[in-house]
Structures are given as structure tokens and as C-alpha cells.
Amino acid sequence: MIQLSIRFIMASFLLFQMFIIPQTTYSQESEFLIYQDGETELEGYLVLPADHAHSMPGILIVHQWMGLSDHEKEVADRLAQEGYVAFAVDIYGKGDRPTDRSEAGTYAMKYKGDTDLYRRRLNAAFETLRMRPEVDSNRIGVIGYCFGGTGALELARSGADVQAAVSLHGGLSTQDPEDARQIKGTVLVLHGADDQAVRDDELMDFVEEMRNADVDWYLMMFGNSVHGFTHRHDSDRYNKLAEERSWDAMLDLFKEVF
């Protein structure tokens, strides 16, 4: 009788496991992906959603001035959890990274001063993502942080077929404002009200640029937020509430355009 009771309990437990505990777990797929801009080798970080298929929306993530870092990789992982093929790009080149803030400024100014080079690197990443079999080439967006926020706007200004371009505490100026007429999708700027890296006249020039080009755009400003307010790894700049609100605003745009 005791043995029968034990067998019954064990059988019941196994049946409970079958119905309650998943027998197969699915995880996101990620890889470091090598791609090219002419002779320059670049290394980005690609993440596929756990339940990926063909014709999914793709999102490019452009890094801040220190180059591709854990911050952009984490953003890529989070976007994949939302159902997007996420590609954190590499502007500087494989293994080429600034070692400190001073050097980062030199790196960033090289690309900001040479819009053609910057746009070429951005379009190399765009084409790499666009050609992925999992990605719907008609549903691609780009986001960027700080230096990368400028990059997201420059990719849109280059005429690339992106449906959404999101700048998070990025620089807003450009060498030729008339290029805004080439923007095809919606532009969203998420800006810290206390961001001293963007002058008031630069902000107003951007507004005028968007108006003159008849772009579908909008701007959200976050109080008590300085430059880099989304960076969780920087306690001096991070604003949790503003970061969460900006993330939600970005996802709302993606849901709208995709």
C-alpha cells in the first residue's frame, strides 16, 4: 500500500511538471557581426528575438562617443525582448576605441566634421541590417545616444529608408540643413531640458530645419535631465524617470510606424 502511494505521488508530480513547467525554453540569439565600409572592418552586435521569423522590424542602435559599449548592447537586448531585430552598430572600426573622454572627443569630432564619412558608416550598418533574412527591409528604424543621436538624424538626412529616427540626448546640428528634405520617416528627439551640450540656438535651428523641410517630427523635453540622462552606468547623469519615459515614447513611435 505504501509503495502504491509513493508511486501515485511520483506520477502526480511528473504530470504536474508536464503541464506547469515548460519542457523547452527559448532565448534570444546574439552575435558579434563583422561587416565592411570599403576596406574598413566594423564589428557590431546583433540580437534576434527569441521567437524570430522572417519580415520582422529592425532597429539600428548608434553608440555614444566612447564607441560600442555595454550600454548599447543592453539596449539591443531590451529591444529584442520587445520583438525587434536589434543591431548595435560600430562607427569607429573593429577594435578601434578611444581610451578616455579627451580621445573620445577627437573621435567624435572626426565624424561630425566629415558628414560624408559618418553617413557612409551609418549606411553600411543600415545595409547590413536591411539584408538580414529576418528583417523586413520596409520596416527599419534607427536610434542613437549622444554622438549616436546625431548619427540617427544624419542617417535619416542621408535619405536612407528608415521609418523612424530617434535621437536620445544627441547633437542636433548638421552641416547642410537642406538635407532634411530627404528624410522619409518620422523623427523623434528626446532631449534633457538641462542638457548643456546642446545650445538653445542649436535647438531652435533644428526646429526651423524640420519646419522648412516639412518633416513629420516631434520633440520631448524632460525636466531635471542633463546630457546622457539615459545612461544607467553613469550615476551622475542618469535620471531613472526620464529614461523610462523616453523608452516608452520610443516604443510608442515604433508601434505606430511599424
pLDDT tens digits for 24-63? Answer: 334 789 999 999 999 999 999 999 999 888 899 999 999 9
Provide, rounded to the nearest whole percent, the portion of the chain with pLDDT above 90. 87
CATH number, position 208: 3.40.50.1820
- Residue recorded with cell 533574412: 133
Q: How many domains does the chain have?
A: 1
Write down the pTM of the prediction: 0.89
7 within a domain of the structure (yes/no) = no
CA dist 170 and 4 (Å) reads 69
Most distant CA pair in the chain: distance in Å?
87
pLDDT tens digits for 149-163? Answer: 999 999 999 999 999
CA dist 30 and 27 (Å) reads 9
4 within a domain of the structure (yes/no) = no
155 within a domain of the structure (yes/no) = yes
5 within a domain of the structure (yes/no) = no
- The domain in which residue 105 lies consists of 44-257
CA dist 9 and 7 (Å) reads 5
pLDDT tens digits for 135-190? Answer: 999 999 999 999 999 999 999 999 999 999 999 999 999 999 999 999 999 999 99
141 within a domain of the structure (yes/no) = yes
14 within a domain of the structure (yes/no) = no
Give Cβ neighbours of residue 9 (< 8 Å, ≥ 6 apart).
Answer: none
178 within a domain of the structure (yes/no) = yes
38 within a domain of the structure (yes/no) = no
* Residue 97: exposure state from Cβ atoms within 10 A (0-12, 13-18, ≥19): middle
